[in-house]
Each structure stands twice: as C-alpha cells, then as structure tokens.
Amino acid sequence: MPDQFDTLFADMRAETLPQVRPPGPAAARDTVRRRRTTRTVVAASAVLAVAGTLTAVGLSTQRETPAERLDRLTAAAQKSVGDKGSAEGFAVIGSASPESTERFPDLSPGRYTVAVGCGGSGTLTMSVTLTAAAGSTDLGGQVASCAAEPTAARMEVQLPVDGELTVALHADQAAGDAVYVMMVARNEEADQAVPVDPESTWNADRAAQVLSSGGGRPVRMTTERPGRPTTQRVGAAGEYRLRMVCAGPGNITVTMAGPVENPLRPHEATLLSRTVACTDVDPEPVIVGVGLEKNTEVTVTVTADGQAHNKAGFAYVLAPA
C-alpha cells in the first residue's frame, strides 16, 4: 500500500510542475503599478502629517501675548471714553482690582462728565464723591460693563464749589484681568444751557452803574453758571486795581488767574481769590490790588453760592492803580 501512494504522488507532481510558469509582462506591469500606488499613498500621508504638524506649530506662534492683550484692551477702553465729546480733560489708566481709587484735585465749580471704559470681562462699579472745605458729598455712581469693545459708562456731576473729585472703583471677580480708562472733563455745553434769570441781569446792570462813576468800562457778569469766566488782556506791566461790585442776595467768590495750562487745575495759575458779599440795597465797591506782567491775559471767574445763584449780578473794572 505505501508503494502505491508513492507512485500516485509522483505522478501528480509530474503533471503539476509543467503548469507553474513565471509571470508574463502584463502581470509584471500590474505588480509594478500596485507598488507605485502604495508608495504614493504612503508619501502623501507623510506629507499631510508633516503639514498638519507645521500648521499646529504655526497656530501656536500666533497666539496673543499678555502684553499685546493689554495694549489691545487699553486701546479699546480709550476709544470708548473718547467716543463722545472733545472736551479737554484728564484720563488715567489702571488695572481692575477689587478696590481702587482715582483722585482729581483742584477742580473749579461747574458741570463735569466722568467716563469709564473697561476692556476685558466682568463689571466695574464706580462711586463719585466731592470733597470740599465744608466736607464730603456723595454724587452718585455708575456701573461699567467690561468687554473686548466696551461702551463707556458716563455720568454728569455738578460741582457747586471748588473741590476734589474722588472716584472709587469696585471690580467683580470676573474683572480680574480687565483694564480701565477713566476721564473727567469739563462740560461747557451743559453750563451754557442754563437760562439767565432776569433778576441776575438786572442786578448786573445795577452793579455796573455803581462802578461807572469811578472810571473805566465795567464788565457785567450774571451768575447762572458756576465758575463763569471772562477774559481780559493788559498791555503794560505794573500794579492794577480790581474794583468789583455784587448786587443782590448771597455771596460770590471772585478768582483772577493767568493763562491756564491744565484745564482741570486752574488754581495753579491763580493770581487772587476773594469772597465778595452781595448787597441788595446800595451795593458798594470792593477794591483789590494785583501786580501783572506785560501782555498778560487774565481770566476773572465768578462762583455764586446757593442764595446768589442766578439771582445776584456782578461787575468789575480792572485798571492801572
């Protein structure tokens, strides 16, 4: 039986071997094509992988640095504060913190705009206080919302007397990385909008009549606006006399100043300041001496108290002594 199996397998090998042939030209070309395709796919996958890596690296290098972010938010806050109005004023820049304070000293009476722009996230709550000789007065507050492109929070305040504005800021937890820009500016348009009471005009005429007998041309001033100024230029240097009269109720403060470099700190150029009592019946002149330099432009400002406001009238003459 084994011999029969050996014979059978030998015959099968003899029949099969002649049928096994090497691949022809067509089969060889197909094989080459398959190998090329495989290499191309692998190469393309490698290029995509490298490009993806480079793209990711490129994105990481374009991220904003902390300094760039601070500059961007500061510029946005400054833009929001300057969006409305062109009044001269002072701006301060600060980083939001749980509690911070900004002070604006030596402000003259009048209407002011307090504006706060906040770049970043969260909110700032501001409280405004006037500190004067008579004490402190709460003027109110406002809330500023921080954003990448913020809208400034604004509030109008009235200063009846000279003093210092204090603006306290409270930032919530979300505003830890925010930056603010705060500006205080004189609101001249609001001051000019107050109508003049006829009584103030009448009293200004009365005061001018008292001064007309002493020589010189009187300058009339009504009292409807706090800190209302007039300007006069003197040609020659020397001693001058300021003759002034206030007719009507209350008291006024008269301030004479030279050229003002800082609109929020006019007291730096003050030449004299005097409180003048107004008189309803037979007002009398008050005379004050002052030395002036050549070609000096002086500003005379009148601030009325509560009784004199828009009721009393004032007149003055500035002439060589």
135 or 121: which carries more pLDDT confidence? 121
Confidence of residue 192 (pLDDT cuts 50, 70, 90): low
φ, ψ (nearest 5 deg) of residue 131: -110, 120
CB atoms within 10 A of CB 148: 10
- With pLDDT > 90 as the criterion, what percentage of the chain qualifies? 37
Place of tokens 């004299």: 272
Which one, of 286, 281, 218, lies nearest residue 252 by Cα?
Answer: 286
The pLDDT, as a whole number, for residue 32 is 46
| Greater model confidence, 315 or 46 | 315
Residue-level pLDDT at 295: 84
- pLDDT (mean) for 279-293: 92
240: left (phi over 0), alpha (psi -120 to 50) or beta: beta
Which pLDDT band, with edges at 50, 70 and 90, does 264 fall under?
low
Domain boundaries, the chain: 66-192, 198-320
Confirm if 230 and 244 have CB atoms less than 8 A apart: no
The neighbouring-strand residues paired with 183 are 91, 115
Domain 198-320, CATH number (from 3.40.50.720, 3.40.190.10, 1.10.287.130, 2.60.120.380): 2.60.120.380
Least confident range of 49-63, 75-89, 103-117: 49-63
Question: C-alpha angle with apex 64: 58 to 68, nearest 5 degrees?
Answer: 140
Q: What is the pLDDT of residue 87?
A: 45
CB distance 314 to 204 below 8 Å = yes
């002034």: which residue's tokens? 244
* Mean pLDDT (whole number) for 32-42: 48
pLDDT for res 276: 94
d(CA 259, CA 268): 10
User: Which pLDDT value is given to residue 29?
Assistant: 52
- The predicted model gives 92-106 an average pLDDT of 88
Query: Taking all residues of the chain, what is their mean pLDDT, rounded to a whole number?
Result: 79
Output the pLDDT for position 217: 87
Range name among 44-53, 125-134, 247-256, 292-301 with the lowest pLDDT average: 44-53
From the list 187, 181, 69, 191, the residue with the least C-alpha distance to 126 is 181
As its CATH architecture, domain 66-192 has Sandwich (2.60)
DSSP annotation of 134: T
Q: Which residues contact 251 (CB under 8 A, 6 or more apart)?
A: 275, 276, 277, 278, 304, 305, 307, 308
Q: Do 125 and 170 form a contact (C-beta atoms < 8 A)?
A: yes
Most confident of 22-26, 59-63, 136-140, 204-208: 204-208
The residue to which tokens 């300041």 are assigned: 273
Q: Looking at per-residue confidence, does 116 or 13 come out higher?
A: 116
Residue 118 is which amino acid? C
List, for residues 145-184, the tens digit of each pLDDT value.
999 999 999 988 888 777 889 999 999 887 778 999 999 9
Least confident residue range of 11-25, 111-125, 136-150, 275-289:
11-25
pLDDT tops 50 at residue 196? yes
CATH topology agreement for domains 66-192 and 198-320: yes
47: β partners? none
Give this prediction's pTM: 0.49
CA dist., res. 94 & res. 267, Å (int): 26
Mean pLDDT of 282-296: 91
Closest CA to 113 of 83, 77, 71: 83
Task: Kindly tell me if the per-residue pLDDT of 12 is higher than 50.
Answer: no
- β-sheet with 163-171: strand ranges across: 99-107, 163-171, 123-132, 135-145
DSSP H or E segment with residue 10 = helix 2-16
In eight-state DSSP terms, residue 60 is H
Instruction: Compute, in degrees rounded to 10, the torsion defined by CA atoms 83, 137, 135, 278.
Output: 80
Q: Confidence class of residue 294 from pLDDT cuts 50, 70 and 90?
A: confident
The separation between CA 198 and the C-alpha centre of its own chain, rounded to angstroms, equals: 39
Cα dihedral value 300, 230, 190, 164, nearest 10 = -20
Question: Which pLDDT belongs to residue 97?
Answer: 86
Note the pLDDT of residue 7: 53
